Chains A and B, each alone.
Chain A
Amino acid sequence: MSEFKENLIKDLTPEIEKTSRSWYMIFGFFLVIFAYGINGLVQQIDKGHIVTGMRDNVVWGVYIVNFIFFMGLSYAGALVSGALHLFKTPWRAPVIRLAELITVISLAIGPFFIFFCVGRLDRLPYLLAFPRIQSPIVWDVIAILTDVFGCFIFLYISFLEDFAILRDRADLNVAPWKKKMFRILAIGYTGTEKQRKILGFARNVMAAMIIAIAIIVYSVLAWIFGVTLRPGWHSTIFGPYFVIAAIFSGVGLLIILMAIFRKIYNLEKYITLKHFVNLGIVLFVIAAFFGYFTFSDYLTKWYGSVKMDKILIDKLFTEFNLFFIFANYIGILTPIIIIAIPKLRTIRNITIAAVIALVALWVNRYIIIVPTLETPFLPIQETRPDWTNYSPTWVEWALTAAGIAVFGMLFMIISKLAPIISISEMEEAEEKRILELSKEKES
């Protein structure tokens, strides 16, 4: 075994072997938030949706915002990891696993918000029992189910070589059940020429598929809005706009996770400024595209001067002006400015830009959904203001926080089962680097 690989394993496996007190404390903190969310859910099940801010007019609120947000993160993770792998990006090795994990974990959380939002969960099986394939909701159900399988297969085959490496480490000080798990999940992979060839081809196929699926599935989600005749939603660019927005948030989250794991697992040697700058440049380009799409969407609606579109845009510039400014100005311009000026390209600044981009994207989803529902084509007369205006309640916030907490917990659990940086990817990158160096020397 090469010295590089030996050192790599020594650096990455301690987190699998032992668990620190601070890990338990952070996990416990997430658990408390999760329990708080469960408390909210119990209230909702007991009293019904009256405990939420959703009413007759505004039937979608924070739950749907969270659903779209988490699904966007998932598709972005798939797109980023698929693209990094397929295009053999040289610097991908330390970050690709984080992107893959974002894909699967977000996908595991997002659909739960649909369950929280649906009033009659008992009718949900009808979607599968009596599907009307003309309905974008049915497309979405089919697409998400297909995506779930694809993402899990992709994640598994990307972990396979690492499971084999961990299985073969006799000196790995882990519980017997973990060793058994590595043995089962490694499915007899020993790294023979044939096995490597089969696995490499399968990974390429899945990387290509996962990119295509991510684009299609998030477009389908966007079409749920796009094909609906409501002010602000009935737009032809919603498909690509949502895909760009998803990548924007996904890259932002990837940068944040890189910063967190780099710090708490002492991975400074592997995740360097170069990775932050490279992903920062991706964030810059996507921010520019996202800004362009946002401007294009609102400009055409504004010039169209269709009555309800005009009312909606007026509302966005008055009642929701702070949200609008944060989501569509600060959230887009901050990453652009930070990345555009070389002096500002530090790990801290890029992480701050990513946090702002991520939060701004959530707010962007909020102002796509709520103001539109507050601006119906047929206003209900003599109705109470809180029927037409939406305001999230503590139950909705509790479940939102619980979703974020579960995201954190799942990441922490997985980081105890397998290395957070792909050993096999790092090894492959090192082999390539040595090969290129020797070629340079020869020439």
Chain B
Amino acid sequence: MSKAPIKYLNLLMLVFLLASGNLSASGLQETKISPYMLFTYLKDSNSSRILQAKMTNITQTGEVPLPGLKIMFYNNETLLGDAVTDNAGNAVYTIDNAFQLFKSDDGSWPFTATFDGDSLVDATFGELSITDVNLEMTLSEEEGKKFVFLSATMSSEQGQAAVTGEEISVFVPRMFSLLPVGTGMLDDNGTIRFEFPGDIPGDSIGNVTVIGRFNDHYLFGSVEKRENKPWGLPVVKAPPIYRSLWSTLAPKWMVVSLAIMLLGVWGHYTFVVISLIRIKKEGSKETKK
């Protein structure tokens, strides 16, 4: 071997060492998290009043849920209770129906959710002011058509009063979220009627869940009524197994082509391996001679 490679090797090693000096794994900066709290209210079909605080860390790579944080829920200054955030960052607290909530001068319930902070996450809080509303939903069928009737009332000094001029919607739950199938304004009587569409896919026998709902309303929060009805289209069963590029079974021509090619190639390999065995046997014969 000539000495030239050693010269180049030394040069390369020098370049390598210089280059590696500038490289280092990027360290993680440890700073306290400034959390974001999404505080919401839901009155569900059973008239349960549910407070939810979703705690997340908004980073450059997206929203990261913060589990294991203890959230305190208050009505005015009275502690209602607490809940710990789950893996999705949600802390949920259901208000006891027997509990007499404090009302502000305008008749609304003031709610506060607070997180007191810890060694890793800063303290934060959220506030809500909710006016209680009663929602009723009636589902009916007339001449083959399906209708959703919604009626909303709220407490006033004169007793129960109709909720007028507020937006309300009808939804059906789908895989990822609620699909709105009708939206409109409540009339002077606090009512509205929607025709339910006839082409909504349901389960195998056509059942769908119909939801009448104030959705994230600025005064009422979310208030909903749910009911199951066979108003959807039964989902067509998966078609029988067939051959195509996109089904489980490949087209026959593809299976046959692949099989011919593989048999051809591996057949030749086998022939060559047999040839090597013949060479070995021939060698053994020669050695014996």
Contact = CB atoms under 8 A, between A and B. Distances in A.
Contact of A51 (B25, B284, B287): B25
Interface in B35-80: 60-61
Interface in B238-289: 245-246, 248, 250-251, 254-255, 258, 261-262, 265-266, 268-269, 271-273, 275-276, 278-280, 282-284, 286-287
Interface stretch (A23-31, A82-90, A246-254): A23-31
Nearest to B261: A216
Interface in A181-219: 187-190, 192, 194-195, 198-199, 201-202, 205-206, 209, 212-213, 216
A263 B283 contact: no
A26 B5 contact: yes
Contact of A202 (B60, B251, B255, B275): B275
A133 interface: yes
A164 B72 CA distance: 84
Contacts of A134: 245-246, 250-251, 254
Contacts of B255: 133
B199 to A, nearest CB: 26
A43 B1 contact: no
Contacts of A23: 1
A264 B268 contact: no
Contacts of B269: 149-150, 153, 209
B25 A133 contact: no
Interface stretch (B9-17, B89-97, B105-113, B172-180): B9-17
Q: Which of A132, A134, A212 has the most CB of B within 10 A?
A: A134
Contact of A198 (B6, B12, B245, B275): B275
B275 A201 contact: yes
Interface string B99-121: 00000000000000000000000
B4 interface: yes
A368 to B, nearest CB: 24
A112 interface: no
A133 B254 contact: yes
Interface residues of B, number: 42
B32 interface: no
A147 B278 CA distance: 24
Interface residues of A, number: 46
A20 B1 contact: yes
B20 interface: yes
B261 A153 contact: no
Contact of B262 (A29, A146, A194, A205): A146
Nearest to B3: A22
Contact of B279 (A150, A195, A205): A195
Nearest to B22: A394
B265 A195 contact: no
Q: Which of B266, B279, B283 has the most CB of A within 10 A?
A: B279
A29 B13 CA distance: 7
A157 interface: yes
Interface string A41-66: 00100000001000000000000000
B31 interface: no
B156 interface: no
Contacts of A266: 2
A399 interface: no
A33 B17 CA distance: 11
Contacts of A29: 9, 12-13, 16
B4 A384 contact: no
Nearest to B20: A36
A209 B268 contact: yes
Contact of B282 (A157, A198, A265, A384): A198
Interface in A9-34: 20, 22-23, 25-26, 29, 32-33
B27 to A, nearest CB: 12
A149 B268 CA distance: 11
B23 interface: yes
Nearest to A200: B275
A201 B271 CA distance: 10
Contacts of A206: 268, 272
A202 B261 contact: no
Given A188-B284, A189-B283, A22 B272 contact: no
Contacts of B250: 132-134
A94 B265 CA distance: 29
A429 interface: no
A30 B273 CA distance: 35
Nearest to B278: A198
Contact of B276 (A25, A51, A157): A157
A142 interface: yes
Q: Which of B6, B23, B271, B278 has the most CB of A within 10 A?
A: B23
A384 B265 contact: no
Nearest to B272: A202
A264 B9 CA distance: 13
Nearest to A29: B9
A202 B1 contact: no
Contacts of B12: 29
Contacts of B282: 188, 192, 194-195, 198
A187 B16 contact: no
Nearest to A260: B5
A160 B275 CA distance: 12
B271 to A, nearest CB: 7
B265 A146 contact: yes
Contacts of A43: 25
A389 B279 CA distance: 57
19 contacts: A29-B9, A33-B16, A43-B25, A134-B245, A134-B250, A146-B262, A146-B265, A146-B266, A153-B272, A187-B276, A188-B287, A189-B279, A190-B286, A192-B286, A198-B278, A198-B282, A264-B2, A265-B1, A384-B61
Interface of A: 20, 22-23, 25-26, 29, 32-33, 36, 43, 51, 132-134, 139, 142, 146, 149-150, 153, 156-157, 160, 187-190, 192, 194-195, 198-199, 201-202, 205-206, 209, 212-213, 216, 263-266, 384, 394
Given A25-B5, A25-B6, A188-B283, 16 more contacts: A22-B6, A23-B1, A32-B16, A132-B250, A133-B255, A134-B254, A157-B276, A187-B279, A192-B282, A195-B279, A202-B275, A205-B268, A209-B268, A265-B1, A384-B60, A384-B61
Considering the complex of A and B, which 3 residue pairs feature the smallest CB-CB distances, nearest first?
A188-B283, A202-B275, A187-B280
